[in-house]
Structure 1
Amino acid sequence: MIALATRYGFRIDIRVASHADEPALADFFAAVTDEDRRFRFLSAVRHVSQGQLHDITAFDYHRHETFVAFAPGGDDIIAAATLAADREGGTGEVAISILPDHKGKGIGWTLLDHVAQEARGWGISRLQSIESRDNRAAIALEREMGFSARAVEGDPALLLLERVF
């Protein structure tokens, strides 16, 4: 478990998720808003399936990890961030979700920064995120952190945000 403080002073504990976290992640994704699930999965997902949870918690050192965040001393997941690298290991993709009552505390910034550090440690030189154009908060955060944005070819509703290290 790693203890971190957000830029607003909110403290979180994070660790790598395992398959044992699938029930807690199911509860977490059930508690995020419909809109946030749509932003995370880029579709109108109402329920995260067992197969999706299994994939989210799959651990493949330097290829795939999901980090779960907790309030200090808490047992309930308040945020989750997944980092997945391509086969060559040069590009990674990140996706973050946060419970509604924990937004605005700097958790997204802190998780994205942690994932970026992990990505660099894996040798990833390009970190990407695919966002719905409606996800203005995520786009603003990623741009603030040095990500550039461009349209996703063939889908005008999406943006590809990218940070090169």
Structure 2
Amino acid sequence: MGMLSRHVTTIAGDKVFLRPLTVEDATLYPDFLADVTAEDLRLRFFAPMRQVNPDLIDKLIHYDPKRAMAFVAIDDATGKLLGVVRLHDDADGTSGEFAILLRSNLKGHGIGWLLMKHMIVNAKAKGLRAVRGQVMTENSTMLQMCGELGFHAIDDPLERGVKDVTLPLDELPAEAVYFP
């Protein structure tokens, strides 16, 4: 059974609260995005952008909980937003597409890993059969993490320089094994 919120500790020893994204979190976005490099924005949104405009933030904040899930990682000590992962169900409701964004200076701290696992566990609890995403081929950190999480990666047939990564959820062990 998925848990929508949980307290976790990163490999760096930081205490983090994972919980669903709320509309009120819009106030945390400017500070969060100030720590995301233009390069990381390009890797996440597949387009050059110096900053995320308010309309896009508005779109990111509002989602239909029946057809999507979004989780944030909040630093217990500071209350700052450290990262966010989203999963939007496909039209047929059997699988979903994820996207993740972290503060650039926190890569390698294990926050992305925790957010991804949290999303995966909740996708499985929801009854989805697979989660998938698109990752730019140059985004080696993300591709490595996806590999470690059990995703299968193939070249996107339509977009050069993009990998399609898919995790069949029925291949996962029980949640207790997967996310202690």
TM over 0.5: yes
User: More strand by proportion, 1 or 2?
Assistant: 1
Q: Name the structure 2 match of 1:159.
A: 163
CA deviations over 1:97-139 (Å, ceiling 9, x no partner)? 1112222211111110000011112211110110011100000
Task: Judge conservation of contact 1:152–1:160 (CA < 8 Å) in 2.
Answer: yes
Point out where structure 1 has 5 or more consecutive residues left out of the alignment.
none
The residue type equivalent to 1:67 in the other structure is F
- CA RMSD, Structure 1 to Structure 2 (Å): 1.6
Task: Judge conservation of contact 1:6–1:109 (CA < 8 Å) in 2.
Answer: no
TM-score by length of 2: 0.84
Q: Name the structure 2 match of 1:69.
A: 73
Point out where structure 2 has 5 or more consecutive residues left out of the alignment.
170-180
How far is 1:73 from its partner? Answer: 2.9
Task: Give, in whole Å, the separation in 1 of the partners of 2:94 and 2:58.
Answer: 24
Q: Name the structure 1 match of 2:102.
A: 98
Q: Name the structure 2 match of 1:88.
A: 92
Task: Give, in whole Å, the separation in 2 of the partners of 1:146 and 1:52.
Answer: 31
The residue type equivalent to 2:131 in the other structure is L
Residue 21 of structure 2 is aligned to residue 17 of structure 1? yes
What is the number of residues matched between the two proteins?
A: 165
How far is 1:64 from its partner? Answer: 1.6
The residue type equivalent to 1:109 in the other structure is W
Residue 130 of structure 2 is aligned to residue 139 of structure 1? no
How far is 1:59 from its partner? Answer: 3.2
TM-score by length of 1: 0.91
The residue type equivalent to 1:151 in the other structure is D
Task: Judge conservation of contact 2:120–2:131 (CA < 8 Å) in 1.
Answer: yes
Q: Name the structure 2 match of 1:128.
A: 132
Residue 125 of structure 2 is aligned to residue 112 of structure 1? no
Percent of matched pairs sharing the same residue? 26
The residue type equivalent to 1:82 in the other structure is R
Q: Report matched runs for 1:19-58 at 5 Å.
A: 19-58=23-62
Task: Give, in whole Å, the separation in 2 of the partners of 1:15 and 1:112.
Answer: 12
Secondary structure class of the residue paired with 1:155: coil
Task: Judge conservation of contact 2:67–2:88 (CA < 8 Å) in 1.
Answer: yes
Task: Give, in whole Å, the separation in 2 of the partners of 1:88 and 1:54.
Answer: 26
Secondary structure class of the residue paired with 2:93: coil
Secondary structure class of the residue paired with 1:117: helix
Name which of structure 1's ranges 62-71 and 38-47 shifts more when overlaid on structure 2: 62-71
Task: Give, in whole Å, the separation in 2 of the partners of 1:83 and 1:12.
Answer: 20
Task: Judge conservation of contact 1:91–1:126 (CA < 8 Å) in 2.
Answer: yes
